Amino acid sequence: MTSFASKMFCRVERLCHHLPVVLNTFLVFSITGEVSYLVLVEAPLEAEQKKTEWSAWWKVVHLLAQYFMLGNICWNALLFLRTSPSIKGVFLGGEGMGQGWRYCYTCETHTPPRCSHCYDCKVCVLRRDHHCVFFGQCVGFRNYRFFLSCLLFMWSGLLYATLMNAEVFIVILKEGVTVHSVLLLLIPWIMLVSGQVSARAFAFAFIADTCVVGFLLVSAFFFFHLFLLFRGQTTREWYSSRRPYSLGLLGNLRHALGVRWYLCWLCPLIPSPLPGDGINFQVTGSLEPTR
């Protein structure tokens, strides 16, 4: 009985671990499909403009921009998940231990500065920023570039989707701000279950709401991490007034995103080697990295 319960617990734990990724994937592709429908079928608003050459080019440009952002979101997310930020396979004791090194009793090893143990990943992570619940993995030294690029394209994609869904809000509110229209925007699920709206109206309202809420949440995360990036800090360090690892704007960009920081955000396949090793870090005002 104990063995069966243990197996069920492990299965449920694995399911919960992958559930956020599945839900995020479903939402991203649902929003993409809905915006594609708006571009191909609903826009432009004027009927006489729908068959013009301008309308065809307008749709092509929108679809290319849309799937460029979708491709970057998916590819950055995949590389983020496949790039381990942990100390596994990393030789830590090359040149001795110095200031900032600690001993992790869980991993039973000494860890370098800015490294800490994650109890969700069950391992120490180099230059650990935080554990991302939406991906089920830690953000660290080796996968930070993919995390930030994914946030960038999620932010731009949700901004684009929110603007494209302005038509949906216009249609819902075209007869004025009524109780029905407000409830449809705030609680579309209840309106659908109670039979007050059609499935089509529910789908448009739900995705439009998701775009707005998602844009606000991603904006908060994205600009917070930009703030940290410019200051040369991690999420674990942001509350401190000291910034010993800040190397100036260009230095911080280079150490976080790699030597091609000005290009790597365009495509995750552009190589951008990181100048450090995640173990030794250059301190402000010093040419030698900390050990």
pLDDT for the residue 10: 62
Phi/psi at 116 (nearest 5 deg)? -150, 165
Alpha-carbon span 7 to 19, nearest angstrom: 18
Which H/E stretch holds residue 151? helix 144-164
Angstrom distances, CA of residue 217 to CA of 51, 128, 278: 38, 22, 29
- Decide if pLDDT at 63 tops 60: yes
Alpha-carbon span 223 to 56, nearest angstrom: 35
Residue 244 lies in a domain: yes
Alpha-carbon span 171 to 164, nearest angstrom: 13
pLDDT for the residue 38: 83
- 263, 243 contact by CB (below 8 A): no
Range of the domain at 159: 12-43+54-85+144-265
Residue 1 lies in a domain: no
44 prior amide bond cis, ω within 30: yes
Residue positions counted in the chain: 291
pLDDT for the residue 96: 58
Q: Specify burial of residue 125 (Cβ count, 10 A radius: 0-12, 13-18, 19+).
A: buried
Residue 110 lies in a domain: no
- Decide if pLDDT at 54 tops 90: no
The span from the first CA to the last CA of the chain, in angstroms, equals 50
Alpha-carbon span 245 to 114, nearest angstrom: 10
Residue 25 lies in a domain: yes
pLDDT per residue over 119-168, tens digit each? 988 999 999 999 998 888 999 999 999 999 999 999 999 999 999 888 77
Alpha-carbon span 146 to 132, nearest angstrom: 13
Alpha-carbon span 126 to 117, nearest angstrom: 9
Residue 96 lies in a domain: no
Residue 7 lies in a domain: no
pLDDT for the residue 268: 94
pLDDT per residue over 7-44, tens digit each? 666 666 666 667 788 888 888 998 898 888 888 876 65
| 132 is an active site residue | yes
- pTM for the full model? 0.86
Alpha-carbon span 141 to 126, nearest angstrom: 6
Residue 237 lies in a domain: yes
Domains: count for the chain: 1
pLDDT for the residue 179: 76
Residue 98 lies in a domain: no
Phi/psi at 103 (nearest 5 deg)? -110, 125
pLDDT per residue over 84-112, tens digit each? 999 887 777 655 567 778 899 998 888 89
pLDDT per residue over 235-279, tens digit each? 988 887 788 899 999 999 999 999 999 999 999 999 999 998 888
Identify the band that residue 175 occupies on the pLDDT scale cut at 50, 70 and 90: low
In percent, how much of the chain has pLDDT > 70?
83
**Marked catalytic residue, from 115, 118, 132, 211:** 132
